[in-house]
Structure 1
Amino acid sequence: TPLFYQGNFNADGKKMRAILVREVSNGTDTYRLWRRDGKPDRKRPSNTDDAYILYVELGGYLATLGMTDFYLTGHCGHQAAVTALYGDEDKREQYFDSLKPSDGNGAAEALEQERALAQEYGRSPARQADYIKFILDRHTAAYRAAKENSGETPPDYTGALVLGELQSCVELYHIYKDKQRERNWAYCRKCNQLAEKQVQKALRVIREGGVLRNDTVEFYRSRYDFSACSIFLHLMKLYYVDVPLRVQGWITNKLVSATISDGRCSDIHFWGNKGDRTSQRFVDCMNELIRAVAS
């Protein structure tokens, strides 16, 4: 049973065909590694060991490690390979810095030698078990942090599974989502209040006269779902002023500001080349907007 199904906690206990890859141990901690059966997880794997994401068996579930066998092995052997070839990371950096730019093959050959040695050292079951424990400890720390702060941060299902507190994690996740939803709505309310102030300020300029800059106004439906457009276009839409598409593009891309004086649009600043003329259709739309706001 995978811990997650389509990115969410597998609350319904949906099954997955899986193949046991191997068991690794450091003498204290033992982990059984699995991969799913069937179509590879990666479209362009580097080799056969890079095709499937690994899962670790925990409490009757398969929790993803988020990496392939090839990556796991290479990561576990990297430090040992660096020590064997260079001594430490600083000396490794010095070695590659010493290679001449023209000697591109030398750098490529050195990297290939390093990768091959990392794969060799990384096959050690003890090294792999140590690294998997390190990963699981991070998950556990994330779950404990969410538990301590009562759902202010997202609870970690894998960490909860390690501790045997999966049901508590489900409940804590609902608390976290409620708090996140409230934070998102509070954020949207704040942004929309600022946008409304921006609109009211622009309307005051239109009624009383002054310079109206072509700033962007943003209204939020959710934290990551918002509409943004020119304050001019927003007001024209608000007051049902019909603006041709070409003029909309001119407003968005070229208009800098417009001056309202004596109930008319009197001065316009825009980006363009010397000799470019103001869009007369924009002036007409602007005067229509001024009349609509005043009525």
Structure 2
Amino acid sequence: MPEVKLMTPLFDGGMYNRTGRRMRAVFIKEVADGTTTYRLWRKDGKPEIEYPRCDNDRYILHVEVNSYLIPLRMTEFQMIDNCGYLPAVNELYGSKEGRAAFFDELRERDGWNQPTSVSEAMKREEEVVTRLGSQPERWVASISKQLASHVKFYLQSEKNGGLTHPDYVGACVLNKLDECMKLSEAHQEYIQKEKEKIAAEEAEKRRREAEEINAKAKQEIEAAVKIIREGGRLNNDRIDYRVGDVGHNEPIVLLLMRRYKVGVPLRTQGWICSKLANVTIKDGRCDGLQYYKAKGAACSQRFFDCMNELVQKVIQEEAK
């Protein structure tokens, strides 16, 4: 009967278990190398792996450290493979290159019998991986290496005062979880300030871009108004401008009609946007225009009324 007891996981829902919530855990085994000993556990209840490859591939391993259970992010099957694959390759073939050469030779030699010979070779390899990967000292070395990496990240955060993310696993190994929580708060404050800084920089960048775009639009509008006042040909070029963070792009003739409050029917607005190329102003009136003629399309007669109204309003503004 396996040992089952309430244990405290280091993480709850992916976050540090601040409340100390406990879970039912099943003791798996103890591994040691003569100097270091680790007690390994798994969750009780429903398997965590949806599609396990074998019976020992159903649950994530946890190692007990300072009364907490730290997830090793691998199953027993994965731990065996992780610990045993390279040693098995070295024992059987001498190196990874030797393994590749062995199977290349096997395929070349056996031809149609290849599936059988490859299957036998793979079975032999799996047996050696399992034998070497199940050795306790290899598990200890793998777990120690993983924990040492976490300790390194925690110490880095401790050194820089929380500028980098504090590692709770490393803190647990060093028995510094209280200090880690303070570092985590400092790190969150630093992240928030960085976000605010980036947001401010982006806002300033958008403001400068808007100023440049609107300054150019102002010049184009002033040049267009001058043509309307003095006469000449006004090209119906599209103008970019910004209102706040919203960008706009519309033909200059329609833009001026909006600004001078000229009532333009929707159909005429569509014609100005899609068909009007340029308009000629002479003696305070619309003297002519050019437009893109499509099959069956005609010039908008209502446009002349709108354009003449715009010309008069521009001239009256100058007189005032």
Whether these two folds match at TM > 0.5 is yes
Residue 17 of structure 1 aligns to a residue whose secondary structure is strand
Which residue among 175, 198, 202 is the counterpart of 2:186? 175
Read off the aligned partner of 1:156 and give its amino acid letter. D
Residue 51 of structure 2 aligns to a residue whose secondary structure is coil
Conserved? CA contact 2:156–2:164, under 8 Å: yes
* Partner Cα separation in structure 2 for residue 121 and residue 38 of structure 1: 30
In the alignment, what sits opposite 2:11? 4
Listed one character per residue, the Cα deviations across residues 211-245 of structure 1 (whole Å, up to 9, x for unaligned) are: xxxxxxxxxxxxxxxxxxxxx79869948x8xxxx
Conserved? CA contact 2:10–2:70, under 8 Å: yes
- Cα shift at 1:185: 1.7
2:59 maps to 1:52: yes
- Cα shift at 1:111: 4.9
Listed one character per residue, the Cα deviations across residues 121-152 of structure 1 (whole Å, up to 9, x for unaligned) are: 11111110111111111111111111111111
Structure index of larger Rg: 2
**Are the structure 2 counterparts of residues 111 and 281 from structure 1 closer, same or farther at C-alpha, using a change threshold of 3 Å?**
farther
Read off the aligned partner of 2:186 and give its amino acid letter. I
In the alignment, what sits opposite 2:84? 77
2:168 maps to 1:161: no
In the alignment, what sits opposite 2:218? 207
Query: How many corresponding residue pairs?
Result: 235
2:93 maps to 1:86: yes
In the alignment, what sits opposite 1:123? 134
Higher relative contact order (CA 8 A, sep 6+): 1
TM-score between both structures, scaled by the size of structure 2: 0.64
In the alignment, what sits opposite 1:138? 149
Read off the aligned partner of 1:7 and give its amino acid letter. G
Structural RMSD (CA): 3.5
In the alignment, what sits opposite 1:198? 209
In the alignment, what sits opposite 1:283? 273
Structure 2: stretches of 5+ with no match in the other structure: 1-7, 222-239, 257-269, 275-309, 311-320
* Partner Cα separation in structure 1 for residue 75 and residue 251 of structure 2: 64
TM-score between both structures, scaled by the size of structure 1: 0.68
* Partner Cα separation in structure 2 for residue 131 and residue 90 of structure 1: 24
* Partner Cα separation in structure 2 for residue 35 and residue 234 of structure 1: 59
1:255-294 to structure 2, matched below 5 A, reads 280=270, 283=273
Residue 49 of structure 2 aligns to a residue whose secondary structure is coil
2:21 maps to 1:31: no
* Partner Cα separation in structure 2 for residue 58 and residue 120 of structure 1: 27
**Are the structure 2 counterparts of residues 236 and 113 from structure 1 closer, same or farther at C-alpha, using a change threshold of 3 Å?**
farther
Read off the aligned partner of 1:69 and give its amino acid letter. E
* Partner Cα separation in structure 1 for residue 183 and residue 195 of structure 2: 18
